[in-house]
Each structure stands twice: as C-alpha cells, then as structure tokens.
Copies of this chain bind each other. A is one copy, B any other.
C-alpha cells in the first residue's frame, strides 16, 4: 500500500519540520527566486520525507484558478471524436491544464445543458463542445454558462467561437477527384441531416457537380453506421448499368458497408463502381479494396481549439468573432483507381 489513511500533511506541517514559515514552503513550490539554496534544500527534504503534496482545492480557492478545462462530446468511440478528444487532452496538458470529459450518448439541448452544469460544478475554467449536431449549436448559443465555450464541428456559421475542418472543401476534393477520373456523374450517400458536417459535405458535392454542369443524382441518406451503408449499397447496386459508376460516401464506415453490399451484388470496385469515403480511419487502407478518402487533421483541430479557448479565458480574444477553419486532404487509394497492392515486406 502506498496511500495512508492518515490526514495528509499540510504546508504548515512541512514548514514546521523544515523550521521555516509556510510561506517559504509555498515559495519553494512556486519556484520563487528569492529563497536561499540552503533553505530550499531543507524544505525540499522535508517535502520528500513527509510525502507532501499541495492541496488542490486550497490552491484553487486562493488563486481562483482550477487549471481544468471541460470537454463535452458524443459518439466518443468513433474514430473522429476519439481522435479529437485525444488531441484536445494532449494540447491542454501541454499548456498545464487538466481535462474533464463528459461523454454523451445523444447530444440534445437537455443533455448538453446538464453536461455544462456538471462541468461548471466541477470548476472548469472553460469548455470545448464537440457538437456536430445542428440542434446542439443553437443550444450552445442560448445556454447560460459562467465560462467561455468553444464549439468544434458545428460549422462556421454560428455566433459561438468555433473550430472546424472545412467539410465543404473535403467534399469538393473527393467529388472533383471522381469527376477528373472520368466519371460523368457522382452519387452521394450522405450522413444524417441533423449533422452540420453532413450538410456541408452535401453542399460541397452538389456545388462541384453543378460547377461541372452535371445534374446531381438522387441523394441517399445513412446514419454513419456500416449497416446503413450496407443498406444504401444494396439500393445503389440496383443502379449499376443505369448511369451509376461512382459514389462519394460521407464517411468511411458507411463506405465499408457500401463495399460489402456491392461485392455481394457482384459489382466490382473500382472497375464497375468507384467509391470514395471520408475520415481516413486507420482501417480504410485495408478495406477491399483500399479506400480513397478525405483525411481530417484532428491533432490540429485539438491544438487550435485549446489555443482559442485559452485566449478566451485570458480575455485576449473577443468571443463570438473567432472562427478557425482547417483544410482537409484527399487520400487516393485503389477504390477509385486500378488496384495498387502495398509494397510487400517481411513480417516485423
């Protein structure tokens, strides 16, 4: 056992043991310059001996700072949110902040409000809300909170400071790539209407087609899951031979379902139908066939979000004005091109 049941030592205890005042102990801990080396050493020894650790709550009360940020997220087992969460925590840690997370199953006005309350009671100095559902954005703007909030994935229209990957651009990259490869039309399997990212991807897809003077074909909807992609894929298979040669799917998981459905229907990818996805999850390179997709730089999203939130906390930036946009990147693989095997190599 390494933790004892006794009341932990206080700064005053350490001070007594070292023969100094509590304030000197505080100075040593705070790296204050004006402490004699000999004194500092004595204090450090006492700290070590007694296993002293500064009390977080007392410190926070006196300084009025908790150095803790909150994050509200949903669907955190998916690659995108999980990656964003990771990047946020890492960026916050680099700035000396701790992160408290609330992971919601569903993001609604009510759950969001509860989450913010909870984080507020937890003493956070600011919150990042990963809120891709459009309903959540409005909630954010209306809700009262005693700290700044930065939204991620809400799209850039809001009155709330936000950080976003340019989804429209991503969709244009994918759609444009398919057109450039010689496909006359590109179909689209979209995400739920309620998601801003889904809307932006539809817009980018449609804009690209219209710019090329192509009439957008029927729009299909899924719910991001592989199963919904599978179902849509079954429908798409029915259009092969009737003008369907290319599909832009709004995320990689649905694209996986589409690939399976096409395969089962005897449709070859990419020879009969080319498929592109969105997200570049780690698995997509190994799909059958490897998937062309759009990569989002979640690490940058995390860093920029934390930077913006800290600016807001320190009062360096007027809130409401700041919108950060990040460029995605097209990753071309076999699902839209003749087959390319990986360079072979001996097993590690």
Contacts and interface: CB of A to CB of B under 8 A. Distances in A.
Contact of A231 (B226, B257, B346): B346
A347 B118 contact: no
A256 B234 contact: no
B103 A90 contact: yes
Copies of chain A in the complex: 2
A234 B2 contact: no
Interface string A61-89: 10010111000000011010011011001
Given A77-B86, A100-B98, A3 B61 contact: no
Contact of A77 (B79, B122, B286): B79
A148 to B, nearest CB: 6
Interface in A1-16: 1-5, 8
A57 B68 contact: no
A147 B51 CA distance: 13
A145 B103 contact: no
B99 A148 contact: no
Given A3-B147, A222-B348, A223-B348, A56 B123 contact: yes
A70 to B, nearest CB: 9
Nearest to A104: B90
A82 B77 contact: yes
A347 B220 contact: yes
A211 interface: no
Interface in A196-222: 220-222
A77 B66 contact: no
A259 interface: yes
Interface string A183-202: 00000000000000000000
A319 interface: yes
Nearest to A123: B56
Contacts of A98: 100, 102, 118-119, 122
Given A1-B319, A101-B99, A228 B260 contact: no
Contacts of A33: none
28 contacts: A2-B143, A2-B144, A5-B315, A53-B146, A55-B123, A56-B121, A56-B122, A56-B123, A57-B64, A57-B123, A58-B61, A61-B61, A67-B122, A77-B83, A77-B86, A90-B103, A100-B100, A220-B347, A225-B282, A228-B348, A230-B286, A231-B346, A235-B346, A257-B286, A259-B286, A260-B290, A263-B288, A264-B341
List the 5 closest A-B pairs by CB distance, nearest first: A56-B123, A57-B60, A288-B288, A57-B61, A226-B286
